[in-house]
Structure 1
Amino acid sequence: MPIARAATARRAAVRLGAVALSGVLLAACGSGDSDGTSGSEDGKTTITVDLFGSFGYKEAGLYAEYEKLHPDVTIKQTDTEDEQDYWKSLQTRLAGGGGLADVQAVEVGRIASVTQQQADKFEDLRKYGADTLKGQFAEAKWSAATTEDGGVLGLGTDVGPEAMCYRADLLKQAGLPTDRAELAKKWATWEGYLALGKQYKAKAPAKSAWLDSVGSLFTIMIGQEEERYYDASGKLIYEDNPAVKAAWDTATEAAAAGLSAKLDQWSPHWNQAFAAGSFATIPCPAWMLGYIKGQAGEAGKGKWDIAKLPGGAGNWGGSYLSVPRAAKHKKEAYELIQWLTAPEQQAKLFRAQGNFPSSTGAIAKIADAKDPYFSNAPIGRIFGDAAKAAPVQVLGIHDKSVADQITNALSEVERKGTSPAEAWSNAKKGVANVTG
């Protein structure tokens, strides 16, 4: 799941660029200023971190490394797999002022909402020296988390240049090519991708579909566009945007052709499907590599590979780490997120988990990276090229919520057999509700 603000007077939309080079309640977390007091019985300060999805810090050993460098600190992480659930929980806690972690993650599709509507709920990190870090990040990434008056409300973790992950063993069983360069040619367009999917379906291994869900297909396609749901003035344009229509039509065509495993992303069944071989391909931003490893496990090593995305480069996702004003250990929280988002740690995280750096200094460090789990795919080059070529995207304050309503409607098409016309009508009603 890269980034810059549109140059409008009201800054009603955020421009998400491609880096030119890309709930769980915490009962123990109260409010109040950091006073250096212990957060645990052993005399250490406990920094609480609340995330969604798979950020990979624990898996890459970064928490352990930080605790070794700071023996007076203990890090406790909670996470929610589904970002929609995470965001709803976060909104409840922000409204009440309690139950907040010292560090809260913010998905890039929500960052405009934070900077424009909830700036009073988060610390301006300049008070801890964040303004000295601006040169470490691409301008697009930095400016997206900056308020109209210059406040810095988050430090960028990663960006989401896109590729296509696939199970080479399943493609081979279906008599299809497995070489990443050959596949990139055959699915150079989305039409080619669907055509290859129909070939796969004809000879696919039992209980295996071409892709996981048509919602993921829509999301990856719309990530290739500059204007999606909003224009640069902040106007909601999704209904009349031909790019949205093209992605919708392609996704519903895939559903009609029976190419999808009909799995809701982030659901338990979707998680289990990675190991079960329930689908042969999945559109994957860089951050999904770590998620695939976690779900497919050791048995999946060498079965997965990565190829260039159909239709050109795009971006899906990327996040920020922020400190709520109600956090207990604000200074310590800032020191942790500054370290986690520094070039050295971003480079380590990419090599271990695939999260593509938002730090310009880290990108050169990972250009030669390969991933043994994904058949030694040159992930540094594949995602690096995608990050350089991805368009600058316009994001509005309800961007993620609009996207969720559309993908929910697509789930109706593939799982319930709802007609595309009726599902689109339902999506529009949902968008009207979430945007007011």
Structure 2
Amino acid sequence: MRTTRKRTMRHPLRSRPAAYGLVAVLGAGLLAGCAEDGGGSDSGDGKTTISVGVFGVFGYKQAGLYDEYEKLHPDIRIKENSTERNEDYYPALLNHLTANSGLSDIQAVEVDNINEVAGLHSDKLVDMSKVDGVRKSDWLEWKWNQAKAENGQVVGLGTDIGPMGVCYRKDLFEKAGLPTDRDEVGKLWEGDWSKYVEAGEKYMKSAPKGTAFMDGAAGLYNGAVSSYPVKYYNAAGELVYKKSEAVQESWDLSMRAIKGEMTGKLKQFDKEWDQAYANGDFASVVCPPWMLGYIKEKAGDKGAGKWDVAAAPKPANWGGSFLTVPKGGKNEKEAVKLAKWLTAPEQQAKLFEKQASFPSSKAAYPLPEVKDAKHPYFDNAPIGKIFSAAAEGIPTTPLGPKDQVIKTTISDIGILQVEQQGKKPEEGWNAAVKKIDDVVED
């Protein structure tokens, strides 16, 4: 039996915000170059080299999982081909899938791209649901279904997810007259994102000088819209964002936050956002597990003990990826074994403990690495329990081929025009719609 001693996150920095390609992947030319020698082969010493194509930092190497697998399988060598940003990696991956050449033995796919991959290229990928030893019941149902093609084939196995919480500054909340205990803070807005905005209105009445309640309206929008069962596409695959309740209500909330001057007018992952953490310029941010390490890095020692984590108003997801195995590769059989092993509950739990990548395998949640996880920087917040509870409640949301484009355009064009340029809400919305219509067919 394994002991159930309390666990703390040892290396919480996650430098791959899996969602929306915000911080993440390889250049097309670089990927192509890697793929040429990456399609697994004999290494020359009698070992078989399995190539793994990823974007950003998936953490397998850093957590020692590749080394562990190679020790378990002395005849296998693993070579990771990593592109820094998903916006470079994904177009190149599509090109390689279309040409059916130049592919790594295993290819990672980001959640906002998995629907397009399943729709266009399921015939070129192994059906992972048919792999011996793969149990659907190990995964959260909504995660499993995200990788399912229309013909029922499951094109990839889920790696991580990004159940959302709200990270907040206890010292700033206290000065503004808001509760600081994480359970009481969660009750402030429990069940409704509009209550989060109401808390912001209360904060701003007594806000410490020079601070805002939240970093930016786009973070609020992202959290709110992701908590609905239908966002940009419906179950029939139809584009519905213009009349979507999720989009309309989340947009209105973000506009309310801007009008109430409760945002720092910051664009996430810009230098100004990073600096605002160090300066203590805002009191809260919607945060998935992988963001905790980012906050720790940017807020630094001055922020230690001041940050905490509370449950989000409603369960929502930001981020996550899948491992796919292209058909017909020289090492397809061994690649399937490796993909299955890397996404098994035990490995997902280890990855969370060492890299803060939250498991998409619900079978990992009772394991001590997850169940007992606490984060010392966030006042020993029981992040395993907080994010496990959120993960279980995330709705099954239909994905479409252009989810990422729509989401990013609404945030980076629509919301930012209102927030940073002072345009009217209808002007920001119309600008976003025009841009989306230019690239997405209705």
> Same fold, TM exceeding 0.5?
yes
How has the CA–CA distance of structure 1 residues 296 and 398 changed in structure 2, closer, same or farther, with 3 Å as cutoff? Answer: same
Matched, 1:352 2:354: yes
Q: Report what 2:428 is aligned to.
A: 423
CA contact (8 A) 1:124 1:153 kept: yes
Q: Using the TM superposition, give the Cα deviation of residue 164 of structure 1 relative to its aligned residue in structure 2, in angstroms.
A: 0.8
CA contact (8 A) 1:56 1:290 kept: no
Q: Using the TM superposition, give the Cα deviation of residue 352 of structure 1 relative to its aligned residue in structure 2, in angstroms.
A: 3.4
Matched, 1:339 2:344: no
* Deviation by residue 1:202-259 (Cα, 9 ceiling, x = unmatched): 5545654322221111111011111111221122222112231111011012122222
In the aligned structure 2, how far is the partner of 1:424 from the partner of 1:363?
40
Give the SS at the match of 1:160. strand
Q: Using the TM superposition, give the Cα deviation of residue 74 of structure 1 relative to its aligned residue in structure 2, in angstroms.
A: 4.4
How has the CA–CA distance of structure 1 residues 386 and 103 changed in structure 2, closer, same or farther, with 3 Å as cutoff? Answer: same
Matched, 1:160 2:166: no
| Matched ranges for 1:213-292 at <5 A | 213-292=216-295
Letter in 2 for 1:260: T
Q: Which of 15, 29, 32 is the matching residue for 2:35?
A: 29
Q: Report what 2:15 is aligned to.
A: none
CA contact (8 A) 1:60 1:353 kept: yes
How has the CA–CA distance of structure 1 residues 267 and 121 changed in structure 2, closer, same or farther, with 3 Å as cutoff? Answer: farther
How has the CA–CA distance of structure 1 residues 108 and 299 changed in structure 2, closer, same or farther, with 3 Å as cutoff? Answer: same
* Deviation by residue 1:126-174 (Cα, 9 ceiling, x = unmatched): 78x3674434323433233233344332110123322111122333454
How has the CA–CA distance of structure 1 residues 69 and 32 changed in structure 2, closer, same or farther, with 3 Å as cutoff? Answer: closer
CA contact (8 A) 2:38 2:52 kept: no
Q: Using the TM superposition, give the Cα deviation of residue 417 of structure 1 relative to its aligned residue in structure 2, in angstroms.
A: 1.9
Q: Using the TM superposition, give the Cα deviation of residue 87 of structure 1 relative to its aligned residue in structure 2, in angstroms.
A: 3.3
* Deviation by residue 1:149-202 (Cα, 9 ceiling, x = unmatched): 443321101233221111223334545332112212223343332233244445
Letter in 1 for 2:433: K
Identity %: 43
Letter in 2 for 1:414: E
CA contact (8 A) 1:162 1:316 kept: yes
CA contact (8 A) 1:314 1:391 kept: yes
- Alignment root-mean-square deviation, CA: 3.2
How has the CA–CA distance of structure 1 residues 37 and 135 changed in structure 2, closer, same or farther, with 3 Å as cutoff? Answer: farther
In the aligned structure 2, how far is the partner of 1:419 from the partner of 1:97?
47
Q: Using the TM superposition, give the Cα deviation of residue 297 of structure 1 relative to its aligned residue in structure 2, in angstroms.
A: 5.0
In the aligned structure 2, how far is the partner of 1:182 from the partner of 1:144?
34
Q: Using the TM superposition, give the Cα deviation of residue 432 of structure 1 relative to its aligned residue in structure 2, in angstroms.
A: 1.7
In the aligned structure 1, how far is the partner of 2:438 from the partner of 2:432?
10
Q: Report what 1:7 is aligned to.
A: none
Give the number of the structure with larger relative contact order, counting CA–CA contacts within 8 Å between residues 6 or more apart. Answer: 1
Give the SS at the match of 2:221. helix
Letter in 2 for 1:104: Q
Q: What is the TM-score of this pair, normalised by structure 1?
A: 0.81
How has the CA–CA distance of structure 1 residues 249 and 329 changed in structure 2, closer, same or farther, with 3 Å as cutoff? Answer: same
Q: Using the TM superposition, give the Cα deviation of residue 102 of structure 1 relative to its aligned residue in structure 2, in angstroms.
A: 4.2
In the aligned structure 1, how far is the partner of 2:274 from the partner of 2:327?
34
In the aligned structure 2, how far is the partner of 1:193 from the partner of 1:73?
49
Q: Using the TM superposition, give the Cα deviation of residue 59 of structure 1 relative to its aligned residue in structure 2, in angstroms.
A: 4.5
CA contact (8 A) 1:161 1:387 kept: yes
- Which ranges of structure 2 fall in alignment gaps of 5 or more residues? 1-25
In the aligned structure 1, how far is the partner of 2:229 from the partner of 2:299?
33
Q: Which range is displaced more, 376-385 or 187-196? A: 187-196
* Deviation by residue 1:5-59 (Cα, 9 ceiling, x = unmatched): xxxxxxxxxxxxxxxxxx3323232178643335xx997836343224x544344
Letter in 2 for 1:28: C
* Deviation by residue 1:368-400 (Cα, 9 ceiling, x = unmatched): 332223211122221222222232222223222
Letter in 1 for 2:437: A
Q: Report what 1:315 is aligned to.
A: 317
In the aligned structure 2, how far is the partner of 1:60 from the partner of 1:296?
24
- Which ranges of structure 1 fall in alignment gaps of 5 or more residues? 1-22
| Matched ranges for 1:386-401 at <5 A | 386-401=390-405
Matched, 1:303 2:306: yes
Q: What is the TM-score of this pair, normalised by structure 2?
A: 0.80
Q: Report what 1:178 is aligned to.
A: 180
Q: Report what 1:369 is aligned to.
A: 373
